Structure 1
Amino acid sequence: MSDPVKSAFSTITGAKTAKIATGEARNGVVHVVALTLTKTADALIDPKLVLSWLLTALSAPGAMIGLLVPVREAGALLPQLALSRRVEASPQRKRFWAAGSAVQGIAALGIAVASLLLSGAAAGAVIVACLAVLAVARSASSVSYKDALARTIAKRRRGAITGLAASVASVSVFGVGLMMASGVFEVAVAPLATIIALAGAAFLLASVIFLSLREPDETPDTGDDDGSLAALVEPIVTDSQLRRFVAARAALAVTALAPPFIVMLSAASGRSALDQLGPLVMASTAASVLASYVWGRLSDSSSRQTLMVAGALGAVVFAVVGGVGLVLGGLGGALGAAVAIFAAQIAYEGVRAGRKLHLTDMAEDAFRARYTALSNTLIGAALLAGGLFGIAADRFGPAPVLIGFAVIAALGAALARGLNEVQKD
């Protein structure tokens, strides 16, 4: 591998060029390019915005629109426990990630075709089914990625890679949103189907690129694993650090749940939520661009402290936004809502960067996929339970819910304080 590649990798990670192995430098580029493609594709088929708008335009039943986010989130997390053993038994984790990305691409293309050929309940049923396939395929990529990253990139450089990919992807999505807002192309079913098809192509290209990753071709020794369910869930029983991590991550999941309640609160001021959609999307994307790489670099030094700081930031943001909402009855229009979304997204990016890298670095090679699957399965169940907050918002309003989120985020930060400094090993 040429010196320019090593130099580029050292720029990405902040490492000294002389200390970088040729294979690792090449692997760093593969990770960044593949992750950028999939993260961009993820944003282009976001069920909270893009697919919800699409099903509404296609006159799909409201019940099907309501299924989009639960299917996407639970489908991507809950199957991971069942997949973890297959990943552990595979000599190369990249194959699972690449297969998952390829299936996501095919499913995205199915959504695009269905939106062009169908309407009403038929379109809704096919698109939700394709989204379910996409979510399960994403679970295969998710459960295998931390292993692939740990086996190909050294500690203290992993966060920079994932952070850079997230920032570059956010810039790409911001550009698409800007083109929509400026009228470069009409926001209609056909152009949106084209965008979703491009997302599918990005998933397929990422699959091909990731297969070029230079990963050791070996299966770790899983010790005394007897293949039983008890052995599969044993880490959550025996590892107190894993239990604390899952508890902290569950509490900090409110940073992912909060944005819809901020949108609800902003709409309470009398402004149309549809009018505010553009500024909110741009604020969220701008926060990702600015924060992802910084949080990734901080996580390379201490993922524990990243979780603490991001949780504390989330607590402050939700308390302030909820308090303002109680006093003013809203957020003062689009500008106030955009500022709130921007701050909340920065906290969310910190939690996401910290929890991903902490789990990657805390787990041993033989059981990293299992730790990932256990954590994600439990968090998937917690996110499903998070639907209860919507009922609370209907009864008490979004402002009290956000104040409740502030308390939960503070609890998450406190729990994270008791985690080990896994980057020091």
Structure 2
Amino acid sequence: MSAKATSAKATSARSGNATEQLYALIANEEDARVCKDIPEEACREVPRNFFLILASNVLTKLGDLLISPKTVLAWLLSAVGAPALVAWLVPIRESGSMVPQMVIAAWVRRKPVRKWFWTLGSVGQAVSVVAMAGSIWFFEGYVAGGGLVAALVAFSLARGFCSVSMKDVQGKCIPKTRRGRLSGLATTIGGTATVVLTALLFWDRGDPGVGFYTVLLLLAASLWIIAGILFATIQEHEGETDGGDNAIREAFNSLSLLRDDAPFRHFVITRALLLCSALAAPYFVVLAQKEADSDWLLGVFLLASSLASSVSASFWGWMADTSSRRVMIRGASMASAVCLLVGLIALVAGERTGTIWFYPAAFFVLSIAHAGVRLGRKTYLIDMAGGNKRTDYTAVSNTVIGVLLLVTGGFTALISLISDVAVIITLGLMGLAGAISAVRLREVTSD
């Protein structure tokens, strides 16, 4: 063997040892290769795969910030002269990636290696974001707005591939008791980076032009491209497959899980009730705007959301590796408590509480609770099943929740005709029911 080849091999070995040592530090154990629920050959690749999945998640979380429908895309539609389309952004962004997932899953589960679906979805999201940038740069008015919304539809569909395949790849490559901290660490790093980006990009910038936001979208697209390349290098071993001639028929057949699988049905009901933590957040912002209509409040809420993720996600992740069920209970209880507290104070004292910091502080606590709810239910779903059942669980759950999200959004919109406070109290009671439902879930982390 040549001296050059020997040197390259030694460098590779040192790099591998460094990866394993860092993984052992994060895993908080002497044997970094402890494995539960994955085969021995996959166990050997865990440290490297852990950091590849982590890096991919962090990059896409940053991309999500740069094309946030609640801030960036909403501003862009107003800037190009299509404000009437703003109402479609959040429903398309959230439900568009969930509703078709049963059909996507029927295709995905036929393949023994599924990382390529995540890579495909990541590249698809990048192409969609480039199309958004092209729409606002080359067109104006509702032509530009329509192009942006059409690109968002494609973005959401591509995201559906990532959602279905991520949980399956993570379940095959990362052992139980390590999945929660992976998700938590990704959210913490992404949240911290979000704080920095918020300060650098949006703080005290006045009114940025279309050119600034076009560059911003292209930057986001590049993050998804890099994430897709990293994810493609994951060492994923072949898993279970099954066939079927018709993906749509298989998709609707998988709905029988809701009828026949009682633990899964209970989880979906619980997850539906836990939507309260996501749906309540905009109403906190609405009440804050009534308290003081200051431009800098938007920056405060962005920072509150980012800080909540960065300070709490790893904590929730480590707890989820012990019991993801208890994380859901605690997150739901916290979300319910803050909603009911805010609602009752606003009901008694009036929507104007007299202090500008009350609603941002409550929003910060709600964001911590939402991080726990989100991470707990993701870890629970990954741990509760293996093989193709995990893919089916993910697809059916997301499809049902996507539909219920639209229904619940319409329901809360009707209640808001009475008052925003009534919506917050209703969602607080919904969260309390979710916490009670989560108490009755079975433990899956230690199975």
TM-score band w.r.t. shorter chain = over 0.9
**Which residue in the other structure is 1:242 paired with?**
264
| Residues 1:401 and 2:423 are matched in the alignment | yes
| 8 Å CA contact retained: 2:114, 2:169 | yes
Secondary structure class of the residue paired with 1:142: helix
Q: How does 1:215-254 map to 2 (within 5 A)?
A: 215-220=236-241, 228=250, 231-254=253-276
Post-superposition offset of 1:313: 0.5
Q: Where has structure 1 moved over 4 Å in runs of 4 or more?
A: 225-230
Secondary structure class of the residue paired with 2:96: helix
Post-superposition offset of 1:13: 2.9
Secondary structure class of the residue paired with 1:190: helix
| Residues 1:40 and 2:62 are matched in the alignment | yes
| Residues 1:10 and 2:24 are matched in the alignment | yes
**Which residue in the other structure is 2:96 paired with?**
75
Secondary structure class of the residue paired with 1:302: helix
Question: What amino acid maps onto 2:99 in structure 1?
Answer: L
Q: 1:160 aligns with which of 147, 167, 181?
A: 181
In structure 2, the CA distance between the partners of 1:11 and 1:332, relative to structure 1 (3 Å rule), is farther
**Which residue in the other structure is 2:153 paired with?**
132
List per-residue Cα deviations over 1:341-392 (Å, max 9, x = no partner): 1011011101100110101010121211111010001100111012224433
Post-superposition offset of 1:228: 4.3
Secondary structure class of the residue paired with 1:338: helix
Post-superposition offset of 1:234: 1.9
**Which residue in the other structure is 1:172 paired with?**
193
Larger radius of gyration: 2
Give distance in 1, aligned partners of 2:418 and 2:294: 20
Question: What amino acid maps onto 1:67 in structure 2?
Answer: W
In structure 2, the CA distance between the partners of 1:330 and 1:389, relative to structure 1 (3 Å rule), is farther
| 8 Å CA contact retained: 1:263, 1:273 | no
List per-residue Cα deviations over 1:20-44 (Å, max 9, x = no partner): 5541100001011011111111121
Give distance in 1, aligned partners of 2:287 and 2:204: 28
Number of residue-to-residue matches in the alignment:
422
CA RMSD of aligned residues (A): 2.0
Which stretch shows the higher mean deviation, 239-248 or 214-223? 214-223
| Residues 1:316 and 2:337 are matched in the alignment | yes
Post-superposition offset of 1:172: 1.6
In structure 2, the CA distance between the partners of 1:151 and 1:333, relative to structure 1 (3 Å rule), is same
Post-superposition offset of 1:273: 5.6
Q: How does 1:341-352 map to 2 (within 5 A)?
A: 341-352=363-374
In structure 2, the CA distance between the partners of 1:229 and 1:149, relative to structure 1 (3 Å rule), is closer
Report % sequence identity: 32
Unaligned runs of 5+ in 2: 1-12, 35-42
TM-score normalised by length of structure 1: 0.95
| 8 Å CA contact retained: 1:265, 1:325 | no
In structure 2, the CA distance between the partners of 1:363 and 1:76, relative to structure 1 (3 Å rule), is same
TM-score normalised by length of structure 2: 0.90
| Residues 1:280 and 2:280 are matched in the alignment | no
**Which residue in the other structure is 1:379 paired with?**
401
| Residues 1:99 and 2:120 are matched in the alignment | yes
Q: 1:193 aligns with which of 214, 226, 236?
A: 214
**Which residue in the other structure is 1:54 paired with?**
76
Question: What amino acid maps onto 2:363 in structure 1?
Answer: I
In structure 2, the CA distance between the partners of 1:18 and 1:278, relative to structure 1 (3 Å rule), is closer
Post-superposition offset of 1:186: 6.0
Give distance in 2, aligned partners of 1:111 and 1:28: 32
Give distance in 2, aligned partners of 1:129 and 1:6: 44
Post-superposition offset of 1:303: 0.7
| 8 Å CA contact retained: 1:156, 1:423 | yes
Which stretch shows the higher mean deviation, 73-82 or 9-18? 9-18
Post-superposition offset of 1:113: 2.0
Post-superposition offset of 1:334: 3.7
Give distance in 2, aligned partners of 1:383 and 1:3: 45
Give distance in 1, aligned partners of 2:173 and 2:23: 13
Give distance in 1, aligned partners of 2:397 and 2:29: 30
List per-residue Cα deviations over 1:271-310 (Å, max 9, x = no partner): 1164411111111111011111111111111011011110
Unaligned runs of 5+ in 1: none
| Residues 1:30 and 2:52 are matched in the alignment | yes
| 8 Å CA contact retained: 2:331, 2:370 | yes
Give distance in 1, aligned partners of 2:217 and 2:252: 41
In structure 2, the CA distance between the partners of 1:276 and 1:424, relative to structure 1 (3 Å rule), is same
| 8 Å CA contact retained: 1:61, 1:120 | no
Give distance in 1, aligned partners of 2:355 and 2:281: 15
